[in-house]
Structure 1
């Protein structure tokens, strides 16, 4: 069986028909001065067309100043070259081919997922670590991509724990996290909730330090379900926070996992941290959107943004149409600049996550509710869950918001409490997914709710001996349904009506 490869310029359309042919269209996307990207279409021996997406092709000894020209027509790449598909779609689509054709294609294009010896050799090349692995980690290659080619499932279970020891000035916690593939409701978002000061944010920061092997880290992971592969359990860690009191540090270099920071902070050349302004966030969004546009992530981004269309503003702006048109930077800037701060943060975060998340990413979010009204927050969490599922990733969210708790099952919620250096992590008593917000608020914050807000006002009135009618009159008949129920309960306890 013969398979012929053709290289075509970036301004050329793919043919609509062919047999046993592969077309590689040059893409001039620049990976830190390396140009290795090609869009690829394959026609099988029956003329069926397969759009594989994108592949990066490099050669041994390649420098940043050059793009190695491939022959305009060839049957196989020689030993100077090696390649890597840029998404699970690439390898999943190849799995729809007959085995003989699939293996011939992978062998002839020198694919480093298919050829383990070639992978070992390619890892010594700067072009591999800088360009080919820019959006894909070694964990993804050895895990997800190889698993796909072996006809395995993409989604995997997670079962891990994180533990911090009590010190002279810090409380200690042990938290377990489990993710079941295809579970309903989804279990890929885990929530840490509790009052201010219990250590939620500090815990997230410690998780980052542990994974990137920061010397000051004070915790450890226990990979319960994957004892043989602890070194590759996570492929990278991503932290997200848009708070002015953001706990995360945008580390430039790390010793452990690859680390991505998404947030307001930036490190200047003098190593001083400053906060980004709106113009800088616009530039960051445009770059991220462009990356997704050019590197085979259009469909993933389109799907994610479509999930946000339950919000009227996102629906009105029709942002997904930008992914169906030619690249237009000015139009993208214009739309982003029209957004409120909350909508802008959601769109930027979702776009950055589509850009950065890969298989076995651990995502950490600190108080995402800060800029979002409840319906937009719910839409964000559902969209986030879909992205995580698509990437076989997991998130841990620190929050005060029962709206977020309402979007996940009880098995994914840790209620944290602390008294001095004595800390406790426990599951809530009621099922949380879809539960009433008031019920969740009382369940999580309990006594604190009864001592604050309208609870305290009504309790004080009852303690002062007022009757139901007197209290109703005092508030000019403006008590809501829940307040009236609470009032009757308080009066019942006092035997006053």
Structure 2
């Protein structure tokens, strides 16, 4: 792929082979001149494609990352260096690139370091004013970051965030199908879906695979790509970032191989080969990122509201100094907290560092290490952050405190029988129900199977509802009929 760069008003040369022409248009975005008009030519005709914005890193040291106030491009190049990122500013830009380059559109966009295709490349630029006030200034740019890769492939992406996923659990004979009915406009809480189920039902395996499939934008082979897309039976939703969270010491949360095309961010202990040093290091990096993107006031407020209400003497003023945090200092300050408080702080810090609009948080067992009151507080913080940053969450949990905060239509029950894990809906409304009732009717039901439940599940798989009900001459009890109806509801 060949590119040439021009100042506004300069004449294009005659060329005999395909070229992409970039014209700096001098538009000023709050002190940053990073806009370029894009033209393509096949050596005969020339066509306007649209507008992109390109940011250029001008510092070498990570701790002093700076972006040029005016992007300077080489006069001729085949591919921009790692010092640059770009983003188309409207849908038509990606569609026109597709029309002109066909299946090679991604090659051209990769050469321009487009973050719609290479989302991980945006991370070091995100804390900068140039990123917020120039590159991502308009709503159309936000949409381009989310949908640009799909538009460039000639796809019509699904804009709604609800979806159905058919995931394969290790050791299971068939796929497990779950419906994630997100709806931010619902009058009931619609940004969180909870998954419950007994140990070894496959919850962690399922959500880890889901997170990896959602975060991947690699086309790889046609077969691999098609298999991944088929797992989203109603179309794959496009989230700008997937945050996987797990703080279990026995973390078996499988993580995908991450490259520049991935939008996956892992927040947690990190498995058997990681240790406290890695967690503290990530915590310090996330604190610095919070400082750079200007969320330090929000971070302090959440920490004070939740942690200091328990023990206001635990946190000194040094704890809230985000600048120049050494490993030794932060290790000491965290050691003054309980394990639950430390995990809570890690969680809040990670979310504030990485959440952006249309992110998905995948959280495995948030109750790990936490006192019941802390679980309730954590859910309040999570809900607040999801609302503020227009994001969503999937939570695998054993906590009735979490289930109490989620409407029953957004609670998936995982049930494993032999080598088959199926999902079903709750037989009672969980939202606002008492902890004792949830524990009795939900978690005991999850933990203890019975002959009648197995029989009803088998009938639901084999017969239509009316025929299944007809098997019982005197009718079913209200409880049994509700359970049977739930089996059919889980399939919709």
| Corresponding position: 1:191 with 2:194 | yes
Partner of 2:371: 373
Q: Is the 8 A contact 1:250 1:265 kept in 2?
A: no
Partner of 1:388: 386
- Give, in angstroms, the shift of residue 32 of structure 1: 4.6
Q: Residue 193 of structure 1 aligns to a residue in which SS? A: strand
| CA shift digits 1:276-324 (9 cap, x unpaired) | 1x3332232122101111223334434543553584136863779836x
Q: Residue 381 of structure 2 aligns to a residue in which SS? A: helix
Partner of 2:180: 177
Distance in structure 1 (CA, Å) of the matches to 2:58 and 2:312:
31
Distance in structure 2 (CA, Å) of the matches to 1:331 and 1:166:
42
| Corresponding position: 1:36 with 2:35 | no
- Give, in angstroms, the shift of residue 428 of structure 1: 1.3
Q: Is the 8 A contact 2:201 2:415 kept in 1?
A: yes
**TM value normalised by structure 2:** 0.58
- Give, in angstroms, the shift of residue 35 of structure 1: 2.9
- Give, in angstroms, the shift of residue 405 of structure 1: 0.7
Partner of 1:357: 355
Which one of 125, 128, 139 corresponds to residue 147 of structure 1?
139
Distance in structure 2 (CA, Å) of the matches to 1:197 and 1:342:
25
| Corresponding position: 1:222 with 2:227 | no
Q: Is the 8 A contact 2:167 2:231 kept in 1?
A: no
Q: 1:146 to 1:166 in 2, by over 3 A?
A: same
Q: 1:305 to 1:322 in 2, by over 3 A?
A: same
Q: 1:167 to 1:349 in 2, by over 3 A?
A: closer
| Corresponding position: 1:60 with 2:70 | no
Q: Is the 8 A contact 2:86 2:112 kept in 1?
A: no
- Give, in angstroms, the shift of residue 173 of structure 1: 1.8
Q: Is the 8 A contact 1:36 1:58 kept in 2?
A: no
Q: Residue 368 of structure 1 aligns to a residue in which SS? A: coil
| CA shift digits 1:46-76 (9 cap, x unpaired) | xxxxxxxxxx8654358779xxxxxxxxxxx
| CA shift digits 1:170-207 (9 cap, x unpaired) | 44321111222254442211111011121111211221
Partner of 1:161: 164
Q: Residue 368 of structure 2 aligns to a residue in which SS? A: helix
**TM value normalised by structure 1:** 0.58
Q: Which moved more, 1:370-379 or 1:344-353?
A: 344-353
Distance in structure 1 (CA, Å) of the matches to 2:318 and 2:184:
28
Q: 1:328 to 1:194 in 2, by over 3 A?
A: closer
| Corresponding position: 1:426 with 2:424 | yes
Q: Mapping of 1:99-110 within 5 angstroms?
A: none
Which one of 278, 293, 296 corresponds to residue 294 of structure 2?
296
Partner of 1:260: 265
- Give, in angstroms, the shift of residue 31 of structure 1: 7.3
Q: 1:285 to 1:116 in 2, by over 3 A?
A: farther
Q: Residue 377 of structure 2 aligns to a residue in which SS? A: helix
Partner of 1:275: 274
Which one of 247, 272, 278 corresponds to residue 252 of structure 2?
247
- Give, in angstroms, the shift of residue 378 of structure 1: 1.0
| CA shift digits 1:91-127 (9 cap, x unpaired) | xxxxxxxxxxxxxxxxxxxxx6489869989964559
Distance in structure 2 (CA, Å) of the matches to 1:193 and 1:220:
25
Distance in structure 2 (CA, Å) of the matches to 1:334 and 1:116:
53
| CA shift digits 1:230-269 (9 cap, x unpaired) | 5x71223221111122122444534864211112127xxx
| CA shift digits 1:459-496 (9 cap, x unpaired) | xxxxxxxxxxxxxxxxxxxxxxxxxxxxxxxxxxxxxx
Give 5+ residue unaligned stretches, structure 1.
8-26, 39-55, 66-80, 85-111, 267-272, 452-497
Partner of 2:335: 337
Distance in structure 2 (CA, Å) of the matches to 1:34 and 1:123:
26
Partner of 1:411: 409
Distance in structure 2 (CA, Å) of the matches to 1:299 and 1:123:
37
Rg comparison, structure with higher value: 1
Q: 1:326 to 1:259 in 2, by over 3 A?
A: closer
Q: 1:411 to 1:450 in 2, by over 3 A?
A: closer
Distance in structure 1 (CA, Å) of the matches to 2:171 and 2:110:
44
Q: Is the 8 A contact 1:286 1:332 kept in 2?
A: yes
Q: Residue 280 of structure 1 aligns to a residue in which SS? A: helix
| Corresponding position: 1:207 with 2:210 | yes
Distance in structure 1 (CA, Å) of the matches to 2:435 and 2:334:
32
- Give, in angstroms, the shift of residue 346 of structure 1: 1.3
Partner of 1:475: none
Q: Is the 8 A contact 2:243 2:362 kept in 1?
A: yes
